[in-house]
Structures are given as structure tokens and as C-alpha cells.
Amino acid sequence: MRVLTGLQPSGDLHIGNYFGAIKQMIEAQNENEMFMFIANYHAMTSSQDGEKLKQNSLKAAAAFLSLGIDPNKSVFWLQSDVKEIVELYWILSQFTPMGLLERAHSYKDKIAKGLNASHGLFSYPVLMAADILLFNTQIVPVGKDQIQHVEIARDIALKVNNEWGEIFTLPQAKVNEEVAVVVGTDGAKMSKSYQNTIDIFATEKILKKQISSIVTNSTALEEPKDWQNCNVFKIAKLFLNESEQKALQDRYEKGGEGYGHFKMYLNELISTYFNDAKKEYERLLSNPHEIDDVLQMGAKKAKEQAQKTMQKIYDKIGL
Ligand code: AMP
Ligand code: TRP
């Protein structure tokens, strides 16, 4: 299957992103033809600070590479290195009824949150459709908030195919329903906007601070503790196999240990799990040329596919 996903270069990744999306992406590389890119054009809709966007794109690339995106298995590039995307975006715009975009929830939500109602933000789904359709994508793995965008891409593809014949593959959104929501330090869904995250690439000091802020109840140290409703346990579980989980449950039920002990254990689990990725992340960020080289290699492969698609269209549109 041809699977494509765009990754927003928006700040620090947390363990909710990892267990909710990134881990599946890394695993999927073995069975699918994965196309993954850092969506820096899309990021421009929320900030036009060039230096920040450059830094965030570099950091995002380093993060995904160090967590296991393998540029030899997957095509991995920086969106703006394949300019055909913007060209296709303009052509697709001619096939996009205003009403289709006016119904987009994501646009309405962003306006409600105070973002400027710019044309860029409004036409964001057409750019996303170009990303998807340029590469003959079959499957787009997405969070629930992005399903509508994939449907818009499909609608646009149908319109073009109706007019010009079978140019585009019809994409399908795939929501991973099995993935459980990862809770944050306050017990609500872990999310940057709630400031309750535990960040993958946090320094030791910040990691410690984030873990110590996990909300627990006030059961006394010597008392048995309720692991089922404990936020520390819920997060630790993500890193444990069945017998390790059982061992931790026993420690809770036995009493004699406080939440501080369990938080220390969680700190060890997280540090160990991401230790190699963290070292690789730091290494890559101190060798940005290496990141550029990898992204250029990906862009070259992506461009080949993009040009094939564009060749089919140039004639039709008179270019
Ligand atoms: P976001 O940056 O919030 O759009 O999240 C990017 C991806 O990470 C989405 O596909 C979500 O499915 C996943 N994700 C984010 N937060 C969580 C969470 N707390 N639990 C599980 N998955 C999450
Ligand atoms: N809009 C997506 C998000 O906010 C990112 C994205 C851009 C994307 N282009 C894409 C996702 C193409 C899937 C396919 O997360």
C-alpha cells in the first residue's frame, strides 16, 4: 500500500504523539511504501516567522529520524523541496467548490481560536489534497480532526477524474481506532494545548519536573495503592510488558512505597526507552548538514513521482 502522511513541524513531541501515532508509523515502514514529509508549507498558516520555521523543521526532521523513520525504507522529505505541490495546489483550486472549503471544521475551529481568517488558512485543505494526490496515495493515516481533509482530497480527485479521466488515485483516511488515548500529567488527554505533556526530547531536569507534576491522590506511604486509577501507572504501563505490569501492580497493592518511588521508576523507564533516540537527536542537531542530505535524498525520490503525476496534467490544463 502507498501510505502518505504529513508531519507538522510544531514544537516538541510528547509521549502521546509517540504511542498514538509515531510508533505505528515506524512499524508500518516494514509493510508499506511510506511517503512522509515535514509539512512546512502548512505550518506557514499559523506563523510567518522564518527563522522559527526553519529551526522547527530541522528539529522535526531530527526527531522523526532519531525515533526510527528510516530514509532507506521510506521516502522522507521537506515539503517545500518539492515545488510541484504548490503548482498542483493552484490547479486543484480550479476544481474546488467554495462550499467544500466553507464546510471545513478545522478552518472554523482555528478562526474560533483567534487565528487570522487568511486565504492560506482557508485553502489549507487544497494544499493538503495536492500533497496526497501528487503521490498516488492510497491510505492516509490521520487523527480524527483530519478525516474531513482527506475526504475533501477525495472529492477534488473525483472531480478531476470526471473531467480528465483516471488521473488520480482515490485516497482513503485510516484512523487507528485501537490506539488508546495517552493521559497527561493531570489525567486528561495529553496535549500541548493543556500543558500536561511529558516530552520525548526533554532535558533530564525538565523530564523530572514533568513527571513530578503528575497528579496522584494522598494515600499514605505504607498503605496499599489503587493502580487502576493512578496516572503514574497509566503512563508507566505504556513502557511495560505484561509481567512487568503485574510486578508494578504488586508493588502498588503491597503498600510501603509512595508515589515518589513510582515516579522515580517511571522516570527511569522513559529515560531508558528514549535514551538512544535522544542521543541520536542531539547528534543530528549538531550536524544539520546530515539532516539536509537525508531530506534532499528523499526530495529527489518524491520529485520523481511528483513529476510523473504532473506530466499527466500539463497537457490537460494547457501547460
Ligand atoms: P497533534 O499534534 O495533537 O495533532 O497529534 C499528532 C498525532 O498524535 C495525532 O495523530 C494523534 O492521534 C496523536 N496523539 C496526540 N496526542 C495524543 C494522546 N494524548 N494520546 C494518543 N494519541 C495522541
Ligand atoms: N494537516 C495535517 C495535520 O495538521 C498535516 C498534513 C499536511 C498532512 N499535509 C498532509 C497529513 C497530507 C496527511 C496527508 O496534522
Using one digit for the tens of pLDDT, what is the confidence trace for 110-134? 899 888 899 999 999 999 999 999 9
The 3-state DSSP class for residue 163 equals helix
Contact 277, 67 (CB under 8 A): yes
The answer to whether 73 and 34 have CB atoms below 8 angstroms apart is yes
8 Å CB contact between 127 and 149: no
At 308 the pLDDT is 97
For residue 179, the model assigns a pLDDT of 79
Active site residue 83: no
Minimum CA distance residue for ligand 1 atom 12:
143
C-alpha cell at 261: 518511588
pLDDT of residue 193: 87
Q: How many residues does the chain have?
A: 319
Which residues of the chain fall below pLDDT 50?
none
Note the pTM of the prediction, 2 decimals.
Answer: 0.94
Measured in angstroms, how far is the CA atom of residue 23 from the centroid of ligand 2? 17
Kindly list the structural domains of the chain, giving each domain's residue range(s) and its CATH number in brackets, ordered by start.
2-181+288-317 (3.40.50.620), 202-273 (1.10.240.10)
Q: Which is the catalytic residue, given 59, 110, 225, 303?
A: 110
**How many other β-carbons are positioned within 10 Å of the β-carbon of residue 23?**
16
Task: Spell out where 181-235 has E strands.
Answer: none
Nearest residue to 56 (alpha-carbon basis) of 75, 79, 23: 79
* Strand-strand pairing, 2-7 and 172-174: unpaired
Q: Report the pLDDT value the prediction gives residue 10, as an integer from 0 to 100.
A: 80
Q: How far apart, in whole angstroms, are the C-alpha atoms of residue 229 and residue 217?
A: 9
Alpha-carbon distance of 197 to 214, in angstroms, equals 10
The whole-number pLDDT of residue 143 equals 86
pLDDT digits (tens, 9 = 90+) for 69-122: 999 999 999 999 999 999 999 999 999 999 999 999 999 998 998 888 999 999
Nearest protein CA to atom 19 of ligand 1, as residue: 190
Given this model, what pLDDT does residue 208 score? 98
pLDDT of residue 108: 92
Residue 54 a catalytic site member:
no
- pLDDT value of position 251: 97
Q: How many angstroms does the Cα of residue 131 sit away from the middle of ligand 2?
A: 8
How high is the pLDDT of residue 185?
Answer: 98
Residues whose CB falls within 8 Å of the CB of residue 61, separated by 6 or more in sequence, listed in order: 9, 38, 76, 78, 284, 291, 294, 295
